[in-house]
Amino acid sequence: MSLKKSRVLFLLAICLSGLLIVSSAGCKAEKQEIAPVQKTVIQLGDKEVQAKDEAIYKTREYNGHKREYLSLDFSKIDHPASVAEFQQVFHQPPIRQYKTGTCWSFATTSFLESELKRLGRGEFKLSEMYTVYWEYVEKARRFIREKGESFLGEGSEHNAVFLRMKQYGAVPASAYSGLLPGRTEHDHSALFKEIKDYLDFCKKNNYWDEEKAVAYVKLILNKHLGEPPAEFEYNGQKMTPKDFLDQVIRLPLDDYVSFMSFKYLPFYTKGEYKAPDNWWHSQDYYNVPLEEFYQAIVQALKNGYSVALGGDVSEPGISGVEGLAIVPSFDILPALIDQDSREFRFYNKTSTDDHAIHCVGLTQKGDHTWFLIKDSGAGAHRGPFKGYVLYRDDFIKLKMLVFTVHKEAVADLLKKFEQK
Q: What is the pLDDT of residues 152-162, one digit of tens each?
A: 999 999 999 99
Length of the chain: 420
Confidence of residue 49 (pLDDT cuts 50, 70, 90): low
Domains along the chain with CATH numbers:
76-418 (3.90.70.10)
pLDDT of residue 186 exceeding 90? yes
pLDDT in tens, 64-83: 889 999 999 999 999 999 99
pLDDT of residue 417 exceeding 90? yes
Burial of 296: CB neighbours in 10 Å, binned 0-12, 13-18, 19+: buried
pLDDT, residue 31, reads 40
Confidence of residue 5 (pLDDT cuts 50, 70, 90): very low
Burial of 119: CB neighbours in 10 Å, binned 0-12, 13-18, 19+: middle
User: Which residues are paired to 59 by β-bridges?
Assistant: 68
C-alpha of 244 from chain center: 30
pTM value is 0.88
Return all residues near 392 (Cβ < 8 A) that are at least 6 apart.
77, 79, 324, 325, 326, 327, 368, 369, 370, 371
pLDDT, residue 108, reads 98
Q: Tell me the CA end-to-end span of the chain in Å, nearest whole number.
A: 82
Confidence of residue 62 (pLDDT cuts 50, 70, 90): confident
* Residue percentage of the chain with pLDDT more than 90: 85
Dump the DSSP string for 12-45.
HHHHHHHHHHHHHHHHHHHHT--PPPPPPEEEET
pLDDT of residue 24 exceeding 50? no
pLDDT, residue 105, reads 98
pLDDT of residue 26 exceeding 70? no
CB contact at 8 A, 371 and 311: no
